[in-house]
Amino acid sequence: MVRLNKVKLAERSIRDYRSFFSTDEQKSLHALSASLKGKRVIHVNAAPVGGGVAEILKTLVPLQRDIGLRSDWYAIEAPKRFFVVTKEIHNGLQGKRFTLKRSDLAHYLSVNEKLARELAKINFDVAVIHDPQPMAVIETFHPSRRKGRPPMISRTHIDLSAPDRRLLKFLKPYLTAYEKTVFSLQSFVPRGLRRDQIVIIPPGIDPLNQKNRVFPLAKAKKIIKDVGIDPKRPLMAQVSRFDPWKNPLGVVEAYRRATKEIPDLQLALVGIRRAQDDPEAVKIFHEVQSATQGDKDVFLFTSLDQLKGHANDAFVNAVQVGADVILQLSTREGFGLTATEAMWKGASVIGGPAAGIRSQITDGVDGFIAKTPKVAAKRIVSLISDPALRRKIGRAAHASVLREHLITRQLLDHLRLYKDAVWG
């Protein structure tokens, strides 16, 4: 079955976020809200939980509602094969060699055609189509086929700086058909798009959701202890799906190198499997499990059953607060909201060479960039050995997120995007 399911969302009040807006931003918010009041905005993405897109939408959509927009979020229901195919498309856009067969691409287009029929039943003034999974729905709504249709926006969250060329050629007719195409960084924009079509909007985190309301250290340590980690010993952690681009095996290598100087170091890899659009996660997890077999100081978290009754968001919060060092050694990353979350909590973050990570971290100022596990290990040792350095980096990291990467700034960017798409 192929259909779009409306995602149920908890209410959010913009009043609770007022302190995160500057005076000028509050004026802009008021003016934009007034001009867009009553407009129907819909978002379509692959899954209602798991991953950065869901994290953004579960706050962005309710805030849009609270300021007067009629905003909804729809997630895709489709056969398992569709998500296997779209995971390969995702990987190909981030640089993996393109291996899909024509029959796979035909399946992708067939599902998108059915999704387009579902979308055609929904009234909207602006539609935001997230990432490649539903990108081809635009074919049904192409201007040459349906004049006078409402504007549609493609929002691509992944790194397109080095895509497989054949795959990009296949997708470009769909990508270029949107009125606006949004990317997280300028370096992710592929050639061939109109200049007036391109919009850059870096993601942001919700400072008030359970995951980002900073825990007291004592509470974080208690939760860590509950799941079997020794809170009195040094801990490094990475919070990410088990995905080749997140480089969990590189994290394991960095841990092994660091234990030569810090033998009581522990490692937690937190990748609770919830997203339906990531069938590759099981394979990568088994590779990591094999690589760490027999090491009692390595903790792999993939199931809610391992959390001893704690909610996933609370557990992630505890790890990001309670670990001595947080890693995000991604080799490709559209942005990396888990790095932002940890920085917001004042953690010392070591990031990989991915552009989405480098856009957040100023090396040596509010975190560190490590191109290799060997370099990461050296940074781990220096940070764990120097609590004053950890505090200094953590304070700068929090300030950086406050300035640049909160959901409040993203809300304003989206409102400007809608206004430009409708009346620009």
Q: What's the domain range around 400?
A: 217-404
329 and 400 co-located in one domain = yes
Do 226 and 358 lie in one domain? The reply is yes
Q: What is the mean pLDDT of the chain?
A: 93
Residue 161 belongs to a domain: yes
In 7-142, the DSSP E strands lie at 40-45, 70-77, 126-130
- Shared domain for 175 and 189, answered yes or no, is yes
**In this model, does residue 424 exceed pLDDT 90?**
no
Q: Could you give the strand order of the β-sheet that contains 40-45, starting from the edge strand earlier in sequence?
A: 3-6, 70-77, 40-45, 126-130, 152-156, 180-183, 198-200
Q: Is residue 345 domain-shared with residue 370, that is, in the same domain?
A: yes
CATH of the domain at 230: 3.40.50.2000
Do 394 and 417 belong to one domain?
no
Same domain, 242 and 325: yes
- Say yes or no: 385 and 343 in one domain: yes
For 71, the 3-state DSSP assignment is strand
Q: What does the pLDDT read at residue 108?
A: 97
pLDDT digits (tens, 9 = 90+) for 179-224: 999 999 999 999 889 999 999 999 999 999 989 998 999 999 999 9
- Has residue 211 been placed in a domain? no
Q: For residue 117, report the phi and psi dihedrals to the nearest 5 degrees.
A: -65, -40
Strands (DSSP E) contained in 206-246 are 235-239
Q: Give the tens place of pLDDT for each residue, 62-86.
A: 999 999 999 999 999 999 999 999 9
Tell me what percent of the residues of the chain surpass a pLDDT of 70. 96
Structure tokens at 413: 């960017």
Output the pTM of the full model: 0.89
- The answer to whether 234 and 384 have CB atoms below 8 angstroms apart is yes
Query: What average pLDDT does this structure show over 336-342?
Result: 93
**pLDDT above 60 (res 261):** yes
Angstrom distances, CA of residue 116 to CA of 41, 86, 233, 259: 16, 16, 53, 53
Same-domain status, 57 and 184:
yes
How many other CB atoms are there within 10 angstroms of residue 324's CB atom? Answer: 20
Looking at residue 99, what is its pLDDT? 85
Do 265 and 399 have their domain in common? Answer: yes
Confirm whether 358 is domain-assigned: yes
Q: How many domains does the chain have?
A: 2
**How far is residue 65 from each of residues 32, 47, 209, 226, measured CA to CA in Å?**
13, 20, 17, 38
Same domain for 170 and 266, yes or no, is no
Please check the confidence at residue 143 and state whether its pLDDT lies above 60.
no
- The answer to whether residue 209 sits within a structural domain is no
pLDDT at 369 over 80: yes
Q: What is the pLDDT of residue 301?
A: 97
- Give the model's pLDDT for residue 361: 97
Residue of higher predicted confidence among 278 and 409 = 409
Between 99 and 3, where is the model more confident? 3
Question: Helix H segments across 94-135?
Answer: 102-120
Q: What are residue 292's DSSP bridge partners?
A: none
The tens digit of pLDDT for each residue in 85-130 reads: 999 999 999 888 888 899 999 999 999 999 999 999 999 999 999 9
pLDDT over threshold 60, residue 337: yes
- What's the one-letter identity of residue 413? D
| Same domain membership, residue 132 and residue 59 | yes
For the residues 301-320, what does the mean pLDDT come to?
95
Question: Within this chain, do residues 39 and 54 fall inside the same structural domain, yes or no?
Answer: yes
pLDDT at 423 over 80: no
Whether 315 has a pLDDT exceeding 90, the answer reads yes
Tens digit of pLDDT for each residue in 266-310?
Answer: 999 999 876 555 667 888 999 999 999 999 999 999 999 999 999
pLDDT of 421 reads 81
